[in-house]
Amino acid sequence: MTKLIKHLFSAALGLLVLIGLSGTTQPTTVNAASKLPDNVEIVLHKLLFTELPSNVINDGTHRDLALEAGKPLNGVTFTAYDVTDDFWQRVDADATHDVEAVQQIIAQDSYDADAAVKKAAAKTWSVTTAGKGEAAFANLPLREHGHYAVYLFKETNQPEGITASQNLVVVLPGNLADETPGRIDLFPKNKMDHGYSEIEKTITNNRTNFGYGEPIPYQIAVKVPANIGALTSFKLTDTADRHLERIGGLTVKVDGQSAKGLYSTTRSDSNSFSLAFDVAKLIPFANKTITVTYQMRIKAGTTPDVPLVNNTVIYPGDDDPETDTAVVITGGKRFIKVDAKAHSAKLQGAVFVVRNAAGAYLTAGQDGWNWQTVRGDVARNYAGLHTLVSAKDGRFAITGLKAGAYQLVEVKAPAGYDRSTKAIPFAVVAGEYTRGQASPYTVVNVKTPTPPHEPNEPGIIGHLPQTGGEWAAWLSIMGLILIGLVAAIRVKTKKA
């Protein structure tokens, strides 16, 4: 039903509160020659409407066609009180013997029907509407203690949101004519002012960003409408993006207890399911909450920053469906490897691993990412870890990470460059993978310095000439010889 109609009365059209079906006065004695039956059946019809019918003939003996638009409402309990003695005593005590005035008194909510029944040692009957919204009171005596019987009908149990109908006071014989079937059909008036079906879909850990393979905990909460007894069906469907897949089964509860036996699964695959609830069995749970919980995960290879929608719809009979959705995404980061001094020089062949805030390293599992610890130097022991390698244009990327802080650890440098021993921090946030196409995160390497030239012969200190050198070398040697000779001559002279 539309939101506008939901705020209108959704009511069953019925008799006036006061029902004197055979006139404004009733006989105080019974004609022994009457051909009326000894017992009657009074059937109450509980109906709900989206629009109130008008000009309805409602005399207790036949149904008006306008009533056919009403929806039968099951699960409402009516109690019939035999107030014959109290009614006729009040009529006799009234100076004008005003039957309608006494009916008005007995129809009031303040009237103590239980006390009247107890005083007269009379009976009560309680019937709950079922089938087509009917509560049938069969074999009610037509006469009691020399008077036509009088019955008070009160709605004694109804779902919250369905306002109780006005009390009905039926003074027999009503419109029962001689030799006619002993049945009276009544349509108690009521309205629905709240308690409509509601749906809320949530992710119970209050996140929207997940990594590949990470469990996503969904919950669907559906309020059973107050008018569940008027619905012919109550169905729930759930359909997720094709990049999502369910992990395990469903848990269905109503009012915190297992809903086993209250529904059937009409469809179930990796990313969708449908549940059909038994409306008759749900009647005791009107205004209570059905909860459906399950887990899904994002498939490996799903593009980051793309919304993945999970849509749930509740179909309350032929009323308008109610819908709610939950959206998740996965993230990623783009990088580019360049020369530290000349960023225009893109570097190929750098190898990286990814570390999370807890110090664990990224590995590829069958259904998504996993994390494991590494002992010792990861640059020497990265076998089995997921690696990122810079391409010819220097670019590389990581996808399928949840939002958060991470680090790149270089385990192999490009040819001709030093490996960076310092971890490179980076963050994954929504939208950055998409923006990174134009402006990736820059990672630099420093060139390996050229080593100095080693001397040709060990033990010779200094730098010997390498060009035109033989003549200069001989001169140096001859100089050394001369110095030695001079020193020797001086020593001999001193001895002499």
For 392-408, the pLDDT digits (tens) are: 999 999 999 999 999 99
Picking from 192, 219, 244, the residue at the C-terminal end of a domain is: 192
Please check the confidence at residue 152 and state whether its pLDDT lies above 50.
yes
The answer to whether residue 475 sits within a structural domain is no
The answer to whether residue 312 sits within a structural domain is yes
Query: How confident is the model at residue 450, as a pLDDT?
Result: 77
Please check the confidence at residue 219 and state whether its pLDDT lies above 90.
yes
User: Which residues are within 8 A (CB) of 302 and not within 5 positions of it... i.e. 6 or more apart?
Assistant: 212, 243, 308, 330, 399, 400
> What is the model's pTM?
0.76
Give CA–CA dist 408/276, Å, rounded.
50
Please check the confidence at residue 244 and state whether its pLDDT lies above 70.
yes
The residue with greater pLDDT, 231 or 467, is 231
The residue with greater pLDDT, 440 or 59, is 440
Q: Do residues 48 and 186 share a domain?
A: yes
Look up tokens 């699964």; give the residue: 265
Q: Which two tokens stand for residue 8?
A: 């209108």
**Cross-strand partners of 309:** 327
Q: Do residues 293 and 391 share a domain?
A: no
For 261-304, the pLDDT digits (tens) are: 999 999 999 999 999 999 999 999 999 999 999 999 999 999 99
For 371-391, the pLDDT digits (tens) are: 999 999 999 999 999 999 999
The answer to whether residue 480 sits within a structural domain is no
Element (H, E) at 105: helix 99-107
Q: Which two tokens stand for residue 337?
A: 């490897």
Please check the confidence at residue 59 and state whether its pLDDT lies above 70.
no
Query: How confident is the model at residue 107, as a pLDDT?
Result: 93
Q: By three-state DSSP, how is residue 55 classified? A: coil
Residue 231: other Cβ atoms inside 10 A: 23
Query: How confident is the model at residue 455, as a pLDDT?
Result: 58
Give CA–CA dist 169/84, Å, rounded.
10
Give CA–CA dist 205/216, Å, rounded.
8
The answer to whether residue 245 sits within a structural domain is yes
- Are 314 and 355 in contact by the 8 Å Cβ rule? The answer is no
Q: By three-state DSSP, how is residue 478 classified? A: helix
The residue with greater pLDDT, 320 or 179, is 320
- Mean per-residue pLDDT, 43-56: 69
Q: Do residues 145 and 223 share a domain?
A: no
If you ran DSSP here, which 8-state letter would residue 10 be given? -
- Are 401 and 368 in contact by the 8 Å Cβ rule? The answer is no
Percent of the chain residues topping a pLDDT of 70 = 77
Cα atoms in the Cβ-side hemisphere of radius 13 Å centred on 177: 3
Give CA–CA dist 343/440, Å, rounded.
13
User: Which is nearest to 156 in space by CA: 44, 45, 78?
Assistant: 78
User: Which is nearest to 367 in space by CA: 298, 449, 292?
Assistant: 298
Q: How many domains does the chain have?
A: 3
* pLDDT bucket at 26, cuts 50 / 70 / 90: very low
Q: Do residues 179 and 265 share a domain?
A: no
If you ran DSSP here, which 8-state letter would residue 441 be given? E
Q: Do residues 293 and 339 share a domain?
A: no
**Virtual CA dihedral for 451, 457, 458, 461, nearest 10 degrees?**
-80
Q: Do residues 397 and 337 share a domain?
A: yes
Query: How confident is the model at residue 250, as a pLDDT?
Result: 97
* pLDDT bucket at 44, cuts 50 / 70 / 90: very high
Q: Do residues 241 and 172 share a domain?
A: no
Give CA–CA dist 443/351, Å, rounded.
12
User: Which is nearest to 94 in space by CA: 5, 26, 184?
Assistant: 26
Q: Residue 79 maps to which CATH number?
A: 2.60.40.10
Look up tokens 């909460």; give the residue: 221
Query: How confident is the model at residue 103, as a pLDDT?
Result: 93
**Cross-strand partners of 61:** none
User: Which is nearest to 146 in space by CA: 246, 55, 31?
Assistant: 31
Q: Do residues 34 and 117 share a domain?
A: yes
**Cross-strand partners of 356:** 406
The answer to whether residue 494 sits within a structural domain is no
Q: Do residues 274 and 301 share a domain?
A: yes
User: Which is nearest to 280 in space by CA: 232, 348, 333, 330?
Assistant: 232
Q: Do residues 278 and 395 share a domain?
A: no
Q: How far is CA 54 from the centre of its chain?
A: 41
Q: Residue 285 maps to which CATH number?
A: 2.60.40.740
The whole-chain average pLDDT of the chain stands at: 84
For 436-478, the pLDDT digits (tens) are: 989 999 999 999 987 766 655 554 444 444 444 454 555 566 6
- Mean per-residue pLDDT, 23-43: 61
User: Which residues are within 8 A (CB) of 145 and not within 5 positions of it... i.e. 6 or more apart?
Assistant: 84, 85
User: Which is nearest to 165 in space by CA: 191, 129, 128?
Assistant: 191
User: Which is nearest to 5 in space by CA: 229, 226, 319?
Assistant: 319
Picking from 285, 302, 327, the residue at the C-terminal end of a domain is: 327
* pLDDT bucket at 483, cuts 50 / 70 / 90: low
DSSP E strand stretches across 216-306: 216-223, 234-240, 244-254, 257-258, 263-269, 272-277, 289-298
- Mean per-residue pLDDT, 102-121: 94
Q: Do residues 185 and 63 share a domain?
A: yes
Query: How confident is the model at residue 359, as a pLDDT?
Result: 96
Picking from 312, 327, 342, the residue at the C-terminal end of a domain is: 327
Cα atoms in the Cβ-side hemisphere of radius 13 Å centred on 118: 4
Give CA–CA dist 16/49, Å, rounded.
17
Query: How confident is the model at residue 196, as a pLDDT?
Result: 84
The answer to whether residue 477 sits within a structural domain is no
Boundaries of domain holding 441: 331-445
Q: List, in sequence order, the alpha helices (H) in 236-352.
A: 279-282
The answer to whether residue 472 sits within a structural domain is no
- Are 212 and 299 in contact by the 8 Å Cβ rule? The answer is yes
Please state the φ and ψ torsions of residue 352, each to the nearest 5 degrees: -130, 155
Give CA–CA dist 192/188, Å, rounded.
13
- Are 201 and 286 in contact by the 8 Å Cβ rule? The answer is no
- Mean per-residue pLDDT, 19-36: 46
The answer to whether residue 58 sits within a structural domain is yes
Query: How confident is the model at residue 10, as a pLDDT?
Result: 32
Q: Do residues 225 and 351 share a domain?
A: no
Query: How confident is the model at residue 95, as a pLDDT?
Result: 85
Give CA–CA dist 209/430, Å, rounded.
8
